[in-house]
Amino acid sequence: MRVFMRSIVIAAGMASAIVPALAAPGPVRSSIPAPEQPGTAAAAAAITRLIGPRAALFDLRLIARPESWYAVHATGGRARIEGSSPVALVRGAYAYLNRAGLASVSWEGDRVAVPTRLPDTVIGRTASPFRHRAYLNTCTYGYTTPFWTWARWEREIDWMAANGVDMPLALEGQEYVWRALWREAGLDDAAIAGHFSGPAFLPWERMGNIEGYRAPLAAGWIEKKHRLQLRILARMKALGMKPVLPAFAGYVPKAFADRHPEARIYRMRQWEGFPPTYWLDPADPLFARLAARFIALYTRTYGVGGYYLADAFNEMVPPIAEDGSDARDASYGDATANTAAVKVAAIPPVVRDRRLAAYGERLYRSIADAAPGATWVMQGWLFGADKTFWSPPAIAAFLSKVPDDRMLLLDIGNDRYPGVWRDTRAFEGKNWVYGYVHNYGGSNPVYGDLDFYRSDMAAVQANAGKGRLAGFGMFPEGLHSNAVVYAYAYDLAWGAGAESTGAWIARYLRARYGRTTPALLTAWADIVAGAYSTKYWTPRWWEQEAGAYLLFKRPTARITTFAGPPGDPARLARGIDRLLAASDGFDREPLFRRDLTDLVRHLATMKADRQLQAAVTAYAAGDVMAGDQATAAMTALAMATDRLVGGQQESLASWIGDARAYGDTPAERDAYEGNARAQVTIWGGQGHLSDYASKAWAGLYAGYYLPRWTMFLRAMRTAALAGQPFDEAATVAQIRRWETAWVARRDVSAAPAPIDPVAQARQLAAMAAQ
């Protein structure tokens, strides 16, 4: 497995030494004295893993309370941390070090500079205004984690604890239980393996959107994830987290549907052009039996849970008509592949509401009966994404027969579909968690809106109609980008919103880079205004075409109508120029170089987009010379960006390398590589998912995005020279064939890191300014 490298700086007085982290750390023995209270041992071990042996300077005391809180009292070179849970203790220790500029923990790496004597500080009782801080998305398990091993998961759980996360989705290892369930139901292993989608596409098979895509799923994969989930849950529970576990939502294998023609099983709509899937009506006696058996098997395998996730209608339309035809033929609001004329809206509201109420009640009962006292967790994405069907009355009906204190709605989409909670009277009195997806598809443009998060979260908390607001969460579909957004959001979730965004940035940079200067802060003020004042990155789903930038989208001549990216590229460019001017003394800091690289590649890619538009416009007008000039400029930008990002923690080669490492045989390794390649490029289906998970990675700029556009522009140029109309359809068909061949290849080379990333960033920024 590829491992993130980090530098740990341990300061002793005025002297310091940079020690590279081990690539694959073994078990770390806590150097904190043996704790006197149960629960502190896990916190002590997490702090040790995060900051090293200086964790011995912390004394931990657990004082359980209903709310989440911590307090710090540092004197005489040591610090006493008090907190309501092991997570709160880790959060308190990290918050203290971070505020003092002594530690920064992120996906890109860490800067840790803990002295032999801790500075005197008192941080009074700091209570989170939210009962829970949730994290992760069902899709994260496809876009980011499918090839993670325990070392990477251990690191992420420690990151969660440092940020005070106590309610993560814990969805690994469930195929082990599904396999047991379907075996008991009479399916053989061949049918089960064909039902499970490939590793990078399992989330959508679990949610009933697809079935058997890039199957079969190897038995070895299932066993590895089973062992992994045992360790994940043990660690989460030791830290006092409340992991959200999977439950049965009604989707069954086609082979099961074929074996049970007597059952009330509906053929659902073709999500994004994939073959239809099959959903068992909760009114059918089989539903309760399967749901109860799944939880029983899960409990026997992994232990008792308190929160169970069941998403029955993720971008799917509930069957309302007796024969289920409406669900089969209806279109979904946020999807674009299915445009059938039959609409669920044609069903009388009284019929719709009666059916929805029954669905909600029976879904809840299927969990409550099997796990008494447990809470049904459901993502609320569908309510915002398909407002045509999910009107406030329809939502109210669906929730009407579920006890308020036994349901938890994850209102994840407030960066894209805000206000659903207001329209539904705070989800009709149910417990709910407020939050943002932010990252869609694991795609990684540089964006976020820090001021929006600050004002928005404060407004929700202050609203008298917030009902049973139970928590805040970040629900990214993918990780490893825009770390500042997540650090800021979870600081806000712990009540750090009293300071201004600028003051927070100054503190963040001091911990991340070791120090700040007025020039550095001025540069970052421009960067925040230019990039981190954007709530949603609209280009990634422009004109029903996915892709974070025009360069990343499947080529089309329609790009000339694209008005431009959100944010303020001119202000961002000024911030980058100022950052480069202030880089003296910072250019040896790994996290400074990482941030500079990210910002410059984002600026350069946006400039490449404009050059693409210029080239297409010129060739369409017959101006070959201008088209050639714009094409050359775009090509130079793409190639230079590919070289610059070679030193980042992820690349096409690392993604594929992790995938291949998960296989036990050559056939498995090839299959996993095919999964990995397809997901970040063509995705699948006959809809609009191509490039949905596009990445600004080394290897993709030069090896995938640029070749596609080169084919397209050459065809346009040939038509212009001949004075003939450009046959876009034929060219795109050729590109599609090339994409399919690319996914089948097995020839990715490692991406070398730039020798001098600051110098290369300076050169690329100058190119983008031309």
Q: What is the pLDDT of residues 51-63, one digit of tens each?
A: 999 999 999 999 9
DSSP letter (8 states) at residue 464 = T
DSSP letter (8 states) at residue 146 = T
Q: Is 525 in contact with 575 (CB distance < 8 Å)?
A: yes
pLDDT digits (tens, 9 = 90+) for 205-218: 999 999 999 999 99
For the chain, the average pLDDT equals 93
Q: Is 732 in contact with 709 (CB distance < 8 Å)?
A: no
Let me know if domain 132-498 sits in CATH 3.40.50.10860.
no
CA 45 vs CA 54, 117, 135, 161, 238: distances in Å: 12, 20, 22, 11, 11
Superfamily of chain region 543-769: N-acetyl-b-d-glucoasminidase (1.20.120.670)
The confidence score (pLDDT) of residue 43 equals 98
Measured distance CA(592)–CA(62) in Å, rounded: 36
The angle at the Cα of 36, spanning 34 to 41, to the nearest 5 degrees, equals 55
The confidence score (pLDDT) of residue 499 equals 83
The confidence score (pLDDT) of residue 344 equals 56
Q: If you write DSSP's letter for every residue of 194-235 in order, what string do you get?
A: HHSPPGGGHHHHHTTS-SSTTPPPPHHHHHHHHHHHHHHHHH
Measured distance CA(544)–CA(546) in Å, rounded: 6
Domain regions of the chain by residue span? 7-127, 132-498, 543-769
Measured distance CA(248)–CA(291) in Å, rounded: 5
Q: Is 101 in contact with 89 (CB distance < 8 Å)?
A: no
Measured distance CA(492)–CA(473) in Å, rounded: 11
Let me know if domain 7-127 sits in CATH 3.30.379.
yes
The confidence score (pLDDT) of residue 339 equals 42
Q: Is 470 in contact with 454 (CB distance < 8 Å)?
A: no
The confidence score (pLDDT) of residue 342 equals 45
Distance of CA 303 to the CA centre of its chain: 26
Residues lower than pLDDT 50 in the chain? 1-35, 336-342
Distance of CA 10 to the CA centre of its chain: 32
DSSP letter (8 states) at residue 645 = G
- Evaluate the CA torsion angle 435, 440, 443, 446 in order and state its sign: negative
Query: CB-based contacts of 510: which residues, under 8 Å, 6+ apart?
Result: 101, 516
Give the closest residue to 365 by CA, choosing from 395, 390, 401, 396. 401
pTM: 0.94
Beta partners for residue 59, in sequence order: 80
